[in-house]
Structure 1
Amino acid sequence: MVFLYHDSKRYPNYANSWCFVSLAIVTLLSTTPHPSFAEKSSKSAANLIDSCWRWNSNWASNRQELALCSVGFAGKMTNNVGSHVTFYQVTDPSDNALHPNPGTLRYGATMIKGKKWITFQRDMRIKLDKPLLISSFTAIDGRGANIHIAGNACLTVFKASNIIIHGLRIHHCRSQPPSSVMGPDGKPFPVGQVDGDAVRLITASKVWIDHNTFYECEDGLLDVTRGSTDITISNNWFRDQDKVMLLGHDDGYVRDKNMRVTLVYNHFGPNCNQRMPRIRYGYAHVVNNLYRKWSQYAIGGSMNPSVKSEANLFIAPKRGNKEVTWRKVSNSIGSKSSWKFRSVGDIFENEASFLQTSLPVAGVMPQYKRIQSFLVAHAKAVRSLTRSSGALKCTKTSRC
């Protein structure tokens, strides 16, 4: 059986949800945030994303509320909500790459046109036959179930926008040979050789990746490449991986100069080696994240990227490299002195260090619009802010 609906008479909670979301949009832009879950429980600094929705024990009937809680370059995900959203429930963990069956994740992500909000009927482990290409205006919401995407192919966003990926456990992704899959809007699509990444963003925009757990993939955990921009990566747990996150396709892809990425409230480690992130050309605001050791480096890059590292907690390994940063200098681009790597309010433990440029702080400001901006907490609060990083364990009848 497949649940596919947007009938307000049969499903009044979802009709009420859109009324609630419409009111919330106005409220969000004119008032201060709701008291946070963290403040209520421990009187610590607020995780502004979680404080926006986790207080609500009736979240399962108001799922679209989540879309208004994102911060950073993705902005608010208002294009993912509305009265014409199709609510689709995954009931079948199987997968057919070219002929997806109703009830499967691939069917919801590719065959349903327009705005769709995808949830899961129960706990399940999904082994994808081939990479899953996610259509624009798709929210994949794993809250209330224990969802693993693991053991073979994983997720790709190709030339798509307005996408939420929330509450999944993605791991043990494997490389894939060239193939054909069902693509966005129900059209077959050829896919070339694919590395074993958990999530790949290719020429994507306005994507929010929140509260997922990533680990042990063949290549990397998250790639943002080929002109992708306006991305927020928040509340995720990245662990047990060599190459964690790549921002920017390669040194010759100049279009990545327009890339803008926010990384906030993420937990890196244990057992992460490098690329947290590695960035080319573009801009990254790395803020209020927890780094639990590294082997090679934590934040690095090439082609003169701009990085503002703000109020993070860096815990260096007891032995080995204590330096947070790594930079590959190209003779055609300039020396290390022309880079824009700036640390503001970070805390360094176990003799961690950050080699920054002499550029004034104003030279690496994120220049957020009002709807993207958020308050940065003191780095002393990072342990508390990231305590719930990763896919949440919650039921549909209680707070997450």
Structure 2
Amino acid sequence: MPTLPYAHADDSLRALAGQAEGFGRHAIGGLHGRLYHVTSLEDDGCGSLREGCRRKEPLWIVFEVSGTLHLSSFLMVSSYKTVDGRGQKVKVTGNGLQLRACEHVIICNLEFEGGRGDDVDAIQIKPKSRHIWIDRCSLRDYSDGLIDITCESTDITVSRCYFSKHNKTILIGGCSSNVADRCIRATIHHCFFDGTCQRHPRVRFGKVHLYNNYTRNWGIYAVCASVDSQILSQCNIYEAGERKMVFMYLTEKAADREEETCGCIRSEGDLFLNDANPCLLSGDGVDQAFKVHEHHAAWTVEPASDSLREVLQVCTGWQSIPRPQERLPVVGFRCDHNIFDHYLL
């Protein structure tokens, strides 16, 4: 049976930091900060997730409660934060998380469901955010997207997430006029796209590495390459339902170009099931796709196989795992209903 990467990251609480693979591998979250305990599922106030995420200092945020957190507006996550849902079952609904002009953020082991309103995404990453890692989250049924990566945000990894009951799943690069999005680099690996309609992902301009994902029964297409995008699809499993087209190419005109162009997709070791049709373009466009080893040296990739497909159906999304122990406690102090523990690292 294939071994999923960084399983050792659950040995101790902060071992998670720096364990992402791919373009988001440098994300450390709140590694060098205090421990912040979420003791309230209220939208705001002392002990709430919003209170922890707005603080400017690095924090490793953990939950002492399980349940549903209904957000009345986007919850802004500031730099150097880890939002660590291991050990509890927390569902975010009503609105989503927004990572604006921030860096070194880790979001782990949460559920997102039922976001409503105009332009409401489960996780919105823009503008100019970097070193972001989204890991082991379940995402479904939002009014807009589940994850948007736009406006020059880069060095992002999405791993072991479960996507279901949704239309526009992951958007990378928001519009053809924002040519600065050529800086975008993202990795999506070991994710399960279960009957979602489209955008697994849809990409403009950016460089995107997809590997060891399982996408089945999509509604329109699996992966879309639009203006100037470069996508490497490596050892993924594409299992068609009624719609057989795996890869779509949409032409758009970049603001600094005279003619419309699409992107390129290079497929290496992918497994196509149930008459899934990759419809790959040939020629120079494919050769222009980026080489991963020119950006980072190593990643954990398994052959696309039935055993990998079985693993991804049970080991993606929110996981019922205990919160790992923190090490080297030094001192703690209490503020109303919220507890801060200071730890040596």
TM range (shorter): 0.7 to 0.9
Asked if 1:143 corresponds to 2:86, the answer is yes
**Matched residues in 2 for 1:70 and 1:376: separation?**
13
Determine the C-alpha separation between the residues in 2 that align with 1:361 and 1:311.
18
Distance 2:295 2:223 in 1: 25
Q: How does 1:9-88 map to 2 (within 5 A)?
A: 44-49=1-6, 51-54=7-10, 56=11, 62-78=12-28, 80-82=30-32, 85-88=33-36
- The whole-number CA distance in structure 2 between the counterparts of 1:375 and 1:125 is 34
Is 1:285 aligned with 2:228?
no
Aligned length: 316
Displacement of 1:154 in angstroms is: 1.2
Give unmatched runs, 5+ long, in structure 2: 326-345
- State the partner residue of 1:154: 96
Partner of 1:394: 321
Question: 2: CA distance between counterparts of 1:118 and 1:134?
Answer: 11
* 2:29–2:82 contact (8 Å) kept in structure 1: no
- Identify if the C-alpha distance between structure 1 residues 275 and 382 changes in structure 2 by more than 3 Å, giving closer, same or farther: same
Pair 1:94–1:350, CA change in 2 (3 A) = same
Q: Which residue of 2 aligns with 1:296?
A: 220
**Aligned equivalents of 1:391, 1:384: Cα separation in 2:** 16
> Is the 1:315–1:349 contact (alpha carbons within 8 Å) kept by the matching residues of 2?
yes
Aligned Cα root-mean-square deviation (Å):
1.9
**Residue 382 of structure 1: aligned partner:** 308
- For residues 389 and 166 of structure 1, the distance between their equivalents in structure 2, rounded to whole angstroms, comes to 12
The answer as to 2:205 corresponding to 1:257 is no
What do residues 41-84 of structure 1 show as CA deviations (whole Å, max 9, x unaligned)? xxx122113x2324x3xxxxx210011321100113346323xx
Q: Does 1:313 align with 2:261?
A: no
Kept after mapping to 1: 8 A contact 2:104/2:131: yes
Taking a change above 3 Å as real, the CA distance of residues 293 and 147 of structure 1, as seen in their structure-2 partners, is same
1:259-290 deviation per Cα after TM superposition (whole angstroms, max 9, x unaligned): 000000000013x1111100001111011000
Tell me if the contact between 2:26 and 2:131 (Cα under 8 Å) persists in the aligned partners.
Answer: no
Task: Tell me by how many angstroms 1:128 deviates.
Answer: 1.1
How far does the alpha carbon of each residue in 1:2-61 deviate from its partner, in whole angstroms, 9 at most, with x for none?
xxxxxxxxxxxxxxxxxxxxxxxxxxxxxxxxxxxxxxxxxx122113x2324x3xxxxx
Match of 2:336 in 1: none
Percent of residue pairs identical: 27
User: TM-score normalized by structure 1?
Assistant: 0.75
Contact conserved, 1:265 with 1:385, CA < 8 A, in 2? Answer: no
Matched residue SS, 1:257: helix
User: Which of 49, 54, 57 does residue 105 from structure 1 map onto?
Assistant: 49
What's the CA shift for 1:397?
7.6
Distance in 2 between the 1:119 and 1:397 partners? 10
Name whichever structure is richer in helix by fraction: 1
Partner of 2:340: none
2: CA distance, partners of 1:361 / 1:65:
38
Deviations 1:190-222 (A, max 9, x none): xxxx51210100021110000000001111111
Distance 1:169 1:368, change over 3 A: farther
Aligned counterparts, 1:232-381, within 5 A: 232-270=157-195, 272-317=196-241, 319=242, 321-330=243-252, 332-334=258-260, 339-358=263-282, 359=284, 363-367=289-293, 369-370=295-296, 373-380=298-305, 381=307
Matching residue of 2:60: 117
CA contact (8 A) 2:102 2:130 kept: yes
Shift of 1:114: 1.7
Matches within 5 A, 1:151-190: 152-175=94-117
Residue 354 (structure 1) shift: 1.0
The Cα shift of 1:396 comes to: 3.9
Q: Is the 8 A contact 1:68 1:76 kept in 2?
A: yes
Query: 1:313 touches 1:347 (CA, 8 Å); kept in 2?
Result: yes
Cα deviation digits, residues 338-380 of structure 1 (max 9, x gap): x42111100000000112233466843224544x631311011
> Does the 8 Å CA contact 1:312/1:347 hold for their aligned counterparts?
yes
Distance change (3 Å), C-alpha of 1:388 and 1:71: same
The separation in 2 between residues aligned to 1:305 and 1:334, in whole angstroms, is: 13
For the residue of structure 2 that corresponds to 1:47, the secondary structure is coil
Mapped partners of 2:289, 2:323: distance in 1: 45
- Is contact 1:199-1:221 (8 Å) kept? yes
Name the amino acid aligned to 1:281: F
For 2:121, the equivalent position in structure 1 comes to: 197
State the alpha-carbon separation in 1 of the partners of residues 222 and 250 from structure 2.
14
Q: For the residues of structure 1 that align with 2:18 and 2:73, how far apart are their CA atoms?
A: 32
**How far apart are residue 333 of structure 1 and its match?**
3.9
Give the match's secondary structure for 1:273.
Answer: coil
Question: Which residue identity is paired with 1:253?
Answer: N
The one of 19, 42, 46 equivalent to 1:94 is: 42
Give the structure-2-normalised TM-score.
Answer: 0.87
- The answer to whether the 8 A contact 1:72-1:368 is kept is no
* SS of residue in 1 equivalent to 2:292: coil
- Say whether the 8 Å CA contact 1:227–1:259 is kept in structure 2: yes
- Whole-Å separation in 1 of the counterparts to 2:126 and 2:289: 28
Structure 1 runs of 4+ off > 6 angstroms?
none
Gaps of 5+ in 1: 1-43, 57-61, 176-193
